[in-house]
Amino acid sequence: MGDLIWIFVSAAVVNNFTLMLFLGLCPFIGVSGRVETALRMGAANTFVLVLTSIAVWALNTFVLPVAPYLRLISFIVVIASLVQIVEMVIKKVSPALFRALGIYLPLITTNCAILGLAVFQTNRAYDFWQGLFFAIGAGAGLTLALVLMASIRESTELVDVPDIARGTALVLLIAGSLSLAFMGFAGLLSTA
């Protein structure tokens, strides 16, 4: 159990996907302008992360021992199909949720965080439960980073920033400070 908690906390803060491993930067830089959107985006990503983790576990257990060289290609195909299926299911079941998440869902396919999770989970030979906790932790970390960024950007909108710093440069510098702060989480679980 301690092992699972370590995996969760490590993925969520100590090795935060966005701020420490640079995974899932596109939504982080591109769309994190509103806290509410950031929350929805984070939720959508977490959902796909969990589904991917389960699918990757199944692939690693049943398919890839036979054909290890098809690893990457099968991951990307599975992720693309998963996103497509999730999109269709949400559209059918809850049109309101679909309208809220709609435009973000296709974007998730090319989000490095999803493929990153699949590759890390495989490299570290996680079993089913470890993979699941890893995915939930990664999703929580991603959401946390998105929400933090969005709330900072909401307040910087009204701040008099030098115009050459507007846009990506400012986002990167803020992200650098956030990343610096997250480095403080290192050692969180090893002092025990």
Interacting residues toward another protein by CB under 8 A = 6, 10, 14-15, 19-23, 25-26, 29-30, 65, 69-73, 76-77, 80, 106-107, 109-112, 115-116, 119-120, 123-125, 161-165, 167-173, 175-177, 179-180, 183, 186-187, 189-191
Residue 172 beta carbon to another protein: minimum distance, rounded to whole angstroms: 3
Neighbours of 180 (CB within 10 A): 10
CA 51 to mean position of chain CA atoms: 12
Instruction: Name the residue nearer to another protein (CB basis): 89 or 183.
Output: 183
Residue 171 beta carbon to another protein: minimum distance, rounded to whole angstroms: 8
- d(Cα 114, Cα 116) in Å, to the nearest integer? 5
Residue 26 beta carbon to another protein: minimum distance, rounded to whole angstroms: 4
Residue 22 beta carbon to another protein: minimum distance, rounded to whole angstroms: 4
Instruction: Name the residue nearer to another protein (CB basis): 95 or 167.
Output: 167
Neighbours of 149 (CB within 10 A): 24
- d(Cα 120, Cα 72) in Å, to the nearest integer? 12
Residue 55 beta carbon to another protein: minimum distance, rounded to whole angstroms: 16
Structure tokens at 176: 């650098």
With a CB cutoff of 8 Å and minimum separation 6, the contacts of 158 are none
Residue 80 beta carbon to another protein: minimum distance, rounded to whole angstroms: 7
Instruction: Name the residue nearer to another protein (CB basis): 96 or 190.
Output: 190
- d(Cα 49, Cα 184) in Å, to the nearest integer? 26
- d(Cα 190, Cα 41) in Å, to the nearest integer? 32
Instruction: Name the residue nearer to another protein (CB basis): 94 or 176.
Output: 176
- d(Cα 176, Cα 154) in Å, to the nearest integer? 17
Structure tokens at 81: 């199909």
Instruction: Name the residue nearer to another protein (CB basis): 20 or 147.
Output: 20
Instruction: Name the residue nearer to another protein (CB basis): 152 or 170.
Output: 170
